[in-house]
Amino acid sequence: MTSNVRVRFAPAPTGLLHIGNARTALFNHLFARKEGGAFILRIEDTDVERSTEASIEAILRDLRWLGILWEEGPDGVGQNGPYRQSERLPLYREYAENLFGEGKVYKCFCSPERLESLRKEQLARGMMPKYDGKCRSLSQREISEMESEGLRPVLRFRVDRGMVVFEDLIHGRMSFDSDGLGDFIIVRSDGMAAYNFACVIDDHSMRITHVIRGDDHLSNTPRQILVYRALGWQPPVFAHHPLILGPDRSPLSKRHGATAVSQYREEGFLPEALLNYLVLLGWTSPSGEEILTPEEIVKAFSLTALSRNAPIHSRKKLEWLNSHYIRKTDNGRLVRLLLSYFEKAGIPVKQMDQEYLAQICGLLKENLSILSQVEEYLGIFFDALFSFSEEAKAVLISPENREALQTILNVLEGFSEMEGDSGSPLLVRFEGRTGRKGKSLYALLRAGITGKMKGPELVKILPLLGKDRMINRLKMALELS
């Protein structure tokens, strides 16, 4: 099914892709999938000083990693480009000149200093700052004079009195008194189009039908609607979604921990987990089900079901989803992902028995809510990283455990090499000879054999370690003081 629905994600490439922006991209992507429409990626790089190629690359990489793929975008796909605003300047200039010719925009020569003192003065009087219209009715002579002095004007949009009303798919009817807007800039003095102008021209020429973006743009929308009107164009449908808040209910920022998609990837979150998590921030599936495949999400998704209340970021929930997806991941992929953390910890994985590595990964899978947590457990399996934790030492040196520890060592020394992949015959012997059961045996064994107080199931660890390595560790444990 194809429809004429066309949506876009339009990031400014001034940094890494934030999870808030990724969520906006996701909502657009899901809506396009659901409606059989097209999802367009447009790079809003008119802020030349802050935009970088590296950010563009990182944004594309992170969207691809999440599986948020576009039909048209700056990587050479699509017929409605270019998809970078810095390559669309002649188009903006043309429309700005037309509007100027029609008297709908005017040249303003006010200095940044004047604007700043105007702002301060208005604030001091308890007013919302806005341009006071000083240059609204300059004569042609005044304009020529200032231009001949080398002054370079900005172009301001002439905002007439009236109401701007639109139906927002999430918030319902929104109305703004244009008096509060002030004559806003559409072209800066360096000739660069301002966001509110470039955005309208691009959305129109790219035939965007629905603009889905964060609430932080709500105040831009009436301005953009005025530009649509001035150009004689029909505005798209708007849907503004609330932004993600931190647990303290302030806008999610670095203070609350990781915010960039790439940080989550590096920490060891799976893309399907992050995607599932992001869609749940502000959307509930009709069935109430929380764990959903991308196909299920597309099927159940609806823009109008997005909540008007701001969602609160919960790292705990994200980790819960991630541990679910880690357990569901097939072993081949899991091993590939985990081995990069092994390598980072200095383990020469290429020279090792691949089967052994795969067994370790399969075992650790149950204990991880984030892939990078494997680092805590590597010492269990690799002697070069083995050490006793402080907690384990406390258990091992405790006088009431010494005898049982010696007994365990004796049992092992008399035990023929383990067969099969179960440690249970050995555990039964430990129980029999020490007379201990449950926690009082298992905590001691875990401390002595793995050096840690937590980790994967002991019964599965024992055969992977083998008799000699366990004996060595128990001897080391008995030497602790």
> Which CB contacts under 8 angstroms, 24+ apart, belong to 426-431?
426/462, 427/458, 427/459, 427/462
Q: Which of 180, 114, 192 is nearest to 155 (CA)?
A: 192
Site size toward ligand GLU, by CB under 6 A: 7
How far apart are CB 221 and ligand GLU at their closest, in Å?
A: 9
Span near ligand GLU by CB under 6 A; candidates 9-17, 337-345, 359-367, 415-423 = 9-17
* Number of Cβ atoms within 10 Å of the Cβ of 185: 19
Residue 462: strand, helix, or coil: helix
**List 5, 10, 185, 361, residue binding ligand GLU (CB under 6 A):** 10
Q: In terms of CB distance, is 51 or 359 closer to ligand GLU?
A: 51
Q: Which stretch binds ligand GLU (CB under 6 A): 10-18, 144-152, 256-264, 347-355?
A: 10-18
Question: Least distance in Å: CB of 12 to ligand GLU?
Answer: 4
Which of 23, 88, 210, 213 touches ligand GLU (CB under 6 A)?
213
34 is catalytic: no
Pull the structure tokens for residue 315: 């790292």
Active-site position among 254, 316, 328, 454: 254
The residues near 316 (Cβ < 8 Å, ≥ 6 apart) are: none
Nearest approach, Cβ of 23 to ligand GLU (angstroms)? 13
At residue 106's C-alpha, the angle toward residues 104 and 107, to 5°, is 160
DSSP 65: H
CA distance linking residue 337 with residue 272, whole number of Å: 14
**Closer Cβ to ligand GLU, 10 or 441, answer by number:** 10
Q: Applying CB under 6 A, which part among 4-12, 404-412, 434-442, 460-468 lies near ligand GLU?
A: 4-12
**DSSP label at residue 135:** T
Report the residue number, 195 or 381, with the smaller CB distance to ligand GLU. Answer: 195
| Residue from 61, 217, 229, 256 binding ligand GLU (CB under 6 A) | 217
C-alpha 297/C-alpha 275 separation (Å) is 10
Phi and psi, residue 211, nearest 5°:
-105, 110
Q: Does the protein bind ligand GLU through residue 12 (CB under 6 A)? A: yes
For residue 282, CA distances in Å to 42, 232, 276, 299, 318 come to: 24, 35, 12, 17, 14
Asked whether the beta carbons of 12 and 58 are under 8 A apart, the reply is no
- Closest contact distance (angstroms) between CB of 108 and ligand GLU is 24
Site for ligand GLU in 170-209 (CB under 6 A): 199
Pick 213 or 446: Cβ nearer ligand GLU: 213
11 binds ligand GLU (CB under 6 A): yes
Q: Find the shortest distance in angstroms from Cβ 84 to ligand GLU.
A: 12
> What's CA 125's distance to the chain center, in Å?
41
Q: How many CB atoms lie within 10 A of CB 136?
A: 12
Task: Provide the 8-state DSSP code for 254.
Answer: G
433: tokens are: 């000879």
CB 246 to ligand GLU: min, Å: 19
84 contributes a contact to ligand GLU by CB under 6 A: no
Token duo for residue 240: 């503004």
Burial label for 341, CB within 10 Å (0-12, 13-18, 19+), is: middle
Stretch that binds ligand GLU, among 6-14, 356-364, 435-443, 468-476 (CB under 6 A): 6-14
Query: Smallest gap, in angstroms, from Cβ of residue 86 to ligand GLU?
Result: 13
Backbone angles phi, psi at 239, to 5 degrees: -140, 110
Output the smallest distance, CB 310 to ligand GLU, in A.
17
Site string for ligand GLU, 24-63 (x = CB under 6 A): --------------------x-------------------
Closer to ligand GLU by CB, 10 or 26: give it: 10
Query: How does strand 163-168 pair with strand 172-177?
Result: antiparallel
Q: Which stretch binds ligand GLU (CB under 6 A): 5-13, 74-82, 313-321, 333-341?
A: 5-13
Contacts to ligand GLU by CB under 6 A = 10-12, 44, 199, 213, 217
Residues with catalytic roles? 254
